[in-house]
Amino acid sequence: MAEPARLNARELRSWTGYHRMSARFAACLNQSLLKDAGLSYADYEILVALRECPEGRMSAGELRCELRWEKSRLSHQLRRMQERGLVRRETNPADARSAVVRLLDKGRCAIEKATPHHTARLRADLFDLLTEEQIDTLADISETVLAHLERREAEALPDGPHGIERIEREATGR
Amino acid sequence: MAEPARLNARELRSWTGYHRMSARFAACLNQSLLKDAGLSYADYEILVALRECPEGRMSAGELRCELRWEKSRLSHQLRRMQERGLVRRETNPADARSAVVRLLDKGRCAIEKATPHHTARLRADLFDLLTEEQIDTLADISETVLAHLERREAEALPDGPHGIERIEREATGR
DNA sequence: TAGTTGAGGTTGACACATCATCCAATGGAC
DNA sequence: GTCCATTGGATGATGTGTCAACCTCAACTA
C-alpha cells in the first residue's frame, strides 16, 4: 500500500474520538447498571438472552453463539452468576457433554429491574443526542466493520495452524 | 419522558451493531498488538504518550490527564510495565509526592516496532472500509457523546458524595 | 470393538480495571 | 510555628477477560 505511515487529520480525529468515546461509554453503562441493579454488563447480556427463551432455559452453546463469546469466558461468567444465585447450570439429557443454563427467579427479578434503566440510559446518553441519519450511519459503519472482521477471521482460520497441521500430516504420510 | 420503554428498530439495529463491533474491534486490535509487538493496548497508549515527550519523560499526573485514566489504573499498569523493563518511575525533585515516568530503551524499541503495524491495521480494518463522510460522522457522533458524558459527570460531582460530606460536616459543626 | 478425532465445557494462570483504603508530602489557615 | 484538608500516588481485594491445557463424551473409522 502506498498510503502514508501516519493517520491523516481526519482519520486521527475520528479514531481518537471513537476510542475515547467507546471506552467512556462502556464504563458509564457498566456503572449505571451496577448502581441500578447490581449487575455488570456481562451479567446483563446473559440475562437478556435467557429472558427471551421459553422457560428461561437455553443451551450453553446457543448462548455462546448468540453473544459471540469465547467458551471459557462464558464458563467463568456462568460460574460467578451461579454463585450469586442468578442462574443455574443443568445437565442436558440429550447430550451429556453440553449443558443447559436456567434463569432463576433472582436473575429474572434482576433483569426486569435493570432493563428500563438501561434503555433510558441508552436514550439519554446516545440516541437523544443524535439525528436519525447519524444513528443509521453508526449502524452502517458497525455492520461494515463487523462483516469485514468476520470475513477476515473466517479466512484466517483454514490457513492458520489448523491448516498447517493438516498439510504436515499429509506430507509425512501419517 | 414519553418515549416508549423499548428501543425502536432503528435504535436497536444501531446499538447491537455498535456494541458488537466495538467489542470485536477492540479485541482484534489488542490481539494484533500482542502478536506483532508483545504489547497490550494499555501498554501501547502509555508508550505512545511517552514517545511524544522530550527525552521520553513525563510526569505521572500529565500521563493520567492525557489518557483520562484513574490513578490506580495507571499505578498498576506502570508497575507491570516497570517489571517488564519498558519504563521506569523516578522521583520528582520538584515535588516529592509526584513521580516522573521515563521511557526505557526496551519500551522505545517496542513502540517503534508496534506503531506501523497498528496504523496499518486501523486502515485495513476501519478507514479503508468507510467513506470520508462516514469517517467524519463517526467523529461527530463520538465528540457529541463524549461532550455529553463529560458534562454530565462534571455536574454530578459537586452534588455527589463530596458535596454531601461537606454539608454534613457543616451541620454537625465539625 | 478399539483407537482417533473433535466438540462442549472446566480450570488455572495471568493481565487488566475498579474500588476502597492507606500513606506521604504539600500548602495554607490559624 | 502547628493543624489540617488536599493532592499524588501505592496497595490489596475483587470482578472481568484471554489463553493454554485438560477432561469427557460422541461420532467416526479401521
CB–CB of A11 and B135 under 8 A? yes
Closest Cβ opposite residue B10 in set A123, A136, A144: A136
B160 domain-assigned: yes
SS3 label, residue A88: strand
- A106 lies in some domain: yes
Q: Is any atom of nucleic acid chain C found less than 7 Å from the CB of residue B72? A: yes
Burial class (CB in 10 A: 0-12, 13-18, 19+), B118: buried
Reply yes or no on whether the pLDDT at A158 is more than 60. Answer: no
Q: Which of A85-94, A109-118, B32-41, B117-126 has the lowest mean pLDDT?
A: A85-94
Nearest CA to CA, how far is B62 from chain A (Å)?
17
Whether residue B170 is predicted with pLDDT greater than 50 in this model: the reply is no
Structure confidence at residue B158 (pLDDT): 54
What confidence tens digit (pLDDT) does each residue in B143-153 have?
999 999 988 88
**What angle (nearest 5°) sits at the alpha carbon of residue A29, between those of residues B163 and B17?**
155
Q: Is the CB of A74 under 7 A from strand C?
A: yes
Residue A156: band (very low, low, confident or very high) from pLDDT cuts 50, 70, 90: low
**Mean pLDDT along residues A71-88:** 95
User: In degrees to the nearest 10, what's the CA dihedral of B39, B42, B43, B47?
Assistant: 130
Are residues A108 and A24 part of one domain? yes
> E strand or H helix at B57, and its extent?
strand B57-59
pLDDT of residue B159: 39
Q: Taking all residues of chain B, what is their mean pLDDT, rounded to a whole number?
A: 87
Mean pLDDT of B64-83: 96
Residue B56 CB closer than 7 angstroms to strand C? no
- To test the contact with chain A by mutation, choose from B16, B18, B70 the residue with the greatest count of A C-beta atoms within 10 A, namely B18
Q: Which of A54-58, A70-74, A145-149, B37-41 has the lowest mean pLDDT?
A: A54-58
Q: How far apart are CA B96 and CA A5, in angstroms?
A: 40
Q: Is residue A67 part of a domain?
A: yes
Interchain CB distance below 8 Å, B119 and A20: no
CA A104 to chain centre: 22
Average pLDDT in the B46-62 region?
93
Same domain, A139 and A110: no
Compute the C-alpha angle A95/A101/A104, nearest 5°: 145
Considering the domain boundaries, does residue A2 fall inside one?
Answer: no
B99-103, strands of its sheet edge to edge: B57-59, B99-103, B87-91
Task: For residues A43-69, give the mean pLDDT.
Answer: 93
**Alpha carbon distance B33, A19 (integer Å):** 16
Residues A43 and A98 in one domain: yes
pLDDT of B33 > 80? The answer is: yes
Residue B38 predicted with pLDDT over 80: yes
Is B6 inside a domain boundary? no
**Domain shared by A125 and A164, yes or no:** no
Q: Tell how strand A57-59 and strand B87-91 pair up.
A: unpaired
> Does A5 fall in a domain?
no
> Does pLDDT of A36 surpass 50?
yes
What band does A63 get if pLDDT is binned at 50, 70 and 90? very high
Q: Which residue has the higher pLDDT, B169 or B90?
A: B90
Residue nearest the C1' of C24 (CA based) = B97
Task: Say yes or no to pLDDT of B136 above 90.
Answer: yes
Residue numbers 136-165 of A with CB closer than 7 A to any atom of strand C: none
B147 in the same domain as B72: no
Cell 467463568 locates to A76
Same domain for B120 and B169? no
Per-residue confidence (pLDDT) for residue A162, from 0 to 100? 36
Indicate the SS3 state at residue B11: helix
Q: Which residues have CB under 8 Å from B146's CB, separation 6+?
A: A17, A20, A21, A24
> In b/e form, how buried is each residue of A21-35, taking b as 16+ CB within 10 angstroms?
bbbbbeebbeebbee
DSSP B69: -
Q: Is the CB of B60 under 7 A from strand D?
A: yes
Express as a percent the part of chain A with pLDDT over 70. 87
Is B43 domain-assigned? Answer: yes
Cα–Cα nearest to A95, from A134, A144, A62: A62
pLDDT band, very low/low/confident/very high, at B3 (cuts 50, 70, 90): low
Domain span at B157: 131-174
- Residues A95-140 have pLDDT tens digits of 878 899 999 999 999 999 999 999 999 999 999 999 999 999 999 9
A172 and A162 inside one domain: yes
The band of A54, judged by pLDDT with boundaries at 50, 70 and 90, is confident
Q: CA–CA separation, A24 vs A95, rounded Å?
A: 42
CB contact under 8 Å between B129 and A148, yes or no, is yes
Q: Is residue A166 domain-shared with residue A88, that is, in the same domain?
A: no
pLDDT of residue B163: 34
User: Average pLDDT, stretch B16-30?
Assistant: 95
Residue B31 lies in a domain: yes
Å from the B172 CA to the C29 C1':
21
Q: In terms of domains, do A125 and A154 share one?
A: no
pLDDT at A45: 96
A11: its cell numbers: 482519520
Residues A38 and A112 both lie in one domain: yes
Cell digits of residue B17: 451493531
- How many CA atoms does the CB half-sphere of B50 hold within 13 Å? 29
Using the beta-carbon criterion (under 8 Å), do A127 and B6 form an inter-chain contact? Answer: no
Instruction: Provide CB contacts within 8 A for B158, sequence distance 6+.
Output: none
In this structure, the answer to whether residues B89 and B145 fall within a common structural domain is: no
Q: How far is the CA of B57 from the C1' of D6 (A)?
A: 26
Of the partner residues B11, B28, B152, the one whose CB lies closest to the CB of residue A135: B11
Provide the number of structural domains found in chain B.
2
Contacts with A144 from chain B: Cβ below 8 Å: 129-130
Q: Is the CB of A40 less than 7 A from some atom of nucleic acid strand D? A: yes
The nucleotide lying nearest A92 (C-alpha to C1') is C8
Residue nearest to nucleotide C10 (CA to C1'): A75
CATH code: domain of residue B123:
1.10.10.10
In chain B, residues 126 through 165 whose Cβ sits under 7 angstroms from any atom of nucleic acid strand D: none
- Do both B79 and B54 map to the same domain? yes
